[in-house]
Structure 1
Amino acid sequence: MRQGLPTRGLTRLLVTALLTVSFGVVAQPDAERGNSERFDCRDLAEHDAPETAPDWLEQSLWASHCYEFRARAVRIGADGVRSLALSHDVVEGAEREVARFLDGPPVVFERRGRIGRLSWAEGEAPVPASPAGITDHLDGLYRLRLSGEERLANRTAIRLDIEPLDDLRYGHRFWLDTATALPLKHILLDEQGRVVETFQITELHQPQLHQGEIGLDRRRDPPEDPWHAVWLPEGFIPQPVETRSSRHADDIGHRVYSDGLATLSLFVEPVEGSDQLIPGMHRLGISHAAVRHRELGGRTRQVVVMGELPPGVLLRVADSVEWRDGAEGSMP
């Protein structure tokens, strides 16, 4: 396994992936104003207190969209300890989320968007909002259970353990604020049960429930890619995320897949020039990137699969990518 700093090309792909997804829930750019579907955050105040583990998870997912707050946090991973300033606001029916690293290189991630959908649209079938669909989708993939209360960030939190039912994904432990259901702490565990990353809120400043609505992303039709992954871990489905970006060229294909908690990004691009990656496995903080050079569509292409998943899973996905019969040799 190759360790150390990624190459320039891998850094570019990592930035694209980070700007596309946030905390395991697919981030969406602002939807068209004509989309009338909305969620009223004031409804959360009327919900009965969660009793089961799945109820706590769903309440937390909605809370993460609907509470406005400022917070300080610490992140502990393979790249060391970093402190962050976090903020979340709702402005004119859209969310604005900012994470600013307070030590080390000055890095800021910002996301503006609306509540995402669970999947691409298929005909007239309903496409639920992510928080409503994720909990049901996790059934059969993870075991959820509550493990008592603790005190974190001067608040009472209930612990939610999420254990994978196979060795194709990582486990999670969440500590959820009992007053708001906002996550105060998250531990990511690898397939051997070892801690990969710890993320913890140290100060949560007066979270306030947004007194209004947040728009849902529009229904999106799936794109016509000339390539596809023949194998994905059970439960991973394509995410309805707009991945075309000025950050990379038109001949770079990028798709996102998720099981509701774990997310992987898949990139396909021609191998040309000096900006290419060494095939093999690369370590990127708590994530891994599997790189393959494959003959696809009549030319050599670089396949990169990134995510917080076991390295063998990422390699298997990369090795399974095939060009569709009859597809043109260039990207759409």
Structure 2
Amino acid sequence: MRRGHSTRGFGGVLCTALLIVSLMFALTFTSSAVAQSDGESSQGMLERFDCRTLAERESPETALAWLERSLWANHCYEFQARAVRIGADGVRALALSHDVVEGAEREVARFLDGPPVVFERRGRIGRLSWAEGDTSVPASPAGIAEHLDSLYRLRLNGEERLANRTTIRLDIEPLDDLRYGHHFWLDTATALPLKHILLNEQGRVVETFQITELRRPQLHQGEIDLDRPRAHPGDPWHPAWLPEGFIPQPVETRSSRHDDDIDHGVYSDGLATLSLFVEPVEGSDQLIPGMHRLGISHAAVRHRDLGGRIRQVVVMGELPPGVLLRVADSVEWQGGGEGNIP
């Protein structure tokens, strides 16, 4: 079972992790999608969203409304599917499933050819950012849609038949050259994304992900829990620069596959996501500084003097290489003591 990123075993584990992250991104539309319920309790009970309310909503008419509906659909529909992913590293077939068990989501992606890799994610609906004191944390697909609306140009581009279903195409074009563009084909009956094309900063297709068979999509007849507000863990480092709109994500990044001295942060604008790793440079098991190509993704590697020690900084994601390098070069350690190592 594969979960998350790792900087160990660059040629294998890291590449596989990025591949899995990209396919799960296509499955869930955005890992930062969150929700909000009116059921919040002053006694600390979990907030919940009732998926049955989606059946009562009017059909979307605008690109922004379709985006919001799709964010909800990705949480609330239970289904099984077959899909293909086409990228620079070849073609892979997958089996996908999504369901809700006792208020928690469960997603499974299984590669049907090549190395036998299975990815499983369980959890509640996440929140948009870390909590700070008593400040309310934005937590709704509407909030994410509005956030993306200030960073991308959204427009509808006609209907098309895919996987024997009618879809509407949603084009999402970045307003700057710091992130990639996207085309989504949304099932008009459920708003689930049936096809996704990722476009680089030159407008060239770098990945196509398409569901070829969607089996028994059913709206979950119940509620899904929201994650509790989480306080920032207070890492001693932080990126001094991020593309506009990127927010630190309140996700658990500790893993048994990471050494205790490997720190990991995740940042997202609600659509694009990058991972940042910081660890001491020790021994020979290190990455060569520079830019590395990993399928459709990139990894920027720097060896920096941070906190009085030489540390390896790795920034990964499906973003322009120059953006990843700039983020890696901007990492600062609280209290100074930093620099670049040639």
Give the TM-score normalised by structure 2: 0.88
Cα separation, partners in 2 of 1:310 and 1:20, compared to 1, 3 Å: closer
2:41 paired residue number: none
Deviation of residue 90 (structure 1)? 0.4
1:108 paired residue number: 118
Larger RCO of the pair (alpha carbons < 8 Å, separation 6+): 1
Determine if contact 2:169/2:186 at 8 Å carries over to the other structure: yes
Matches of 1:137 and 1:18, distance apart in 2: 26
Matches of 1:17 and 1:203, distance apart in 2: 24
**2:62 aligned with 1:52, yes or no?**
yes
Deviations 1:74-125 (A, max 9, x none): 1000110111000001000001100001011111111001101011112222
Q: Which runs of 5+ in 2 are unaligned?
A: 1-6, 35-43, 338-342
Deviation of residue 131 (structure 1)? 2.2
Determine if contact 2:18/2:294 at 8 Å carries over to the other structure: no
**2:223 aligned with 1:217, yes or no?**
no
Matches of 1:257 and 1:11, distance apart in 2: 24
Q: Could you say what secondary structure the match of 1:25 adopts?
A: coil
Query: Runs of at least 4 residues of structure 1 off by over 3 A?
Result: 9-22
Deviations 1:116-155 (A, max 9, x none): 1011112222223352321011122100000010000000
Cα separation, partners in 2 of 1:161 and 1:243, compared to 1, 3 Å: same
**2:47 aligned with 1:37, yes or no?**
yes
Q: Could you say what secondary structure the match of 1:319 adopts?
A: helix
**2:196 aligned with 1:186, yes or no?**
yes
1:154 paired residue number: 164
Cα separation, partners in 2 of 1:185 and 1:283, compared to 1, 3 Å: same
Aligned length: 317
2:9 paired residue number: 8
Q: How does 1:65-104 map to 2 (within 5 A)?
A: 65-104=75-114
Q: Could you say what secondary structure the match of 2:291 adopts?
A: strand
1:288 paired residue number: 298
Cα separation, partners in 2 of 1:77 and 1:17, compared to 1, 3 Å: closer
**2:333 aligned with 1:323, yes or no?**
yes
Q: Could you say what secondary structure the match of 2:217 adopts?
A: strand
Q: Could you say what secondary structure the match of 2:234 adopts?
A: coil
Determine if contact 2:268/2:274 at 8 Å carries over to the other structure: yes
Matches of 1:17 and 1:81, distance apart in 2: 15
2:4 paired residue number: none
Counterpart residue type for residue 156 of structure 1:
T
2:289 paired residue number: 279
Matches of 1:320 and 1:183, distance apart in 2: 35
Counterpart pick for 2:31 among 12, 25, 29: 25
Counterpart residue type for residue 137 of structure 2:
V
**2:213 aligned with 1:176, yes or no?**
no
Counterpart pick for 1:299 among 301, 304, 309: 309
Deviation of residue 19 (structure 1)? 7.6
Deviation of residue 166 (structure 1)? 0.3
Matched-pair identity in %: 82
Matches of 1:150 and 1:16, distance apart in 2: 32
2:37 paired residue number: none
Deviation of residue 10 (structure 1)? 6.3
Deviations 1:12-42 (A, max 9, x none): 45666778894131499xxxxx642000000
Matches of 1:273 and 1:130, distance apart in 2: 45
Determine if contact 1:26/1:241 at 8 Å carries over to the other structure: no
**Bigger mean CA deviation after superposition, 196-205 or 124-133:** 124-133
Q: Which runs of 5+ in 1 are unaligned?
A: 1-5, 29-33, 328-332
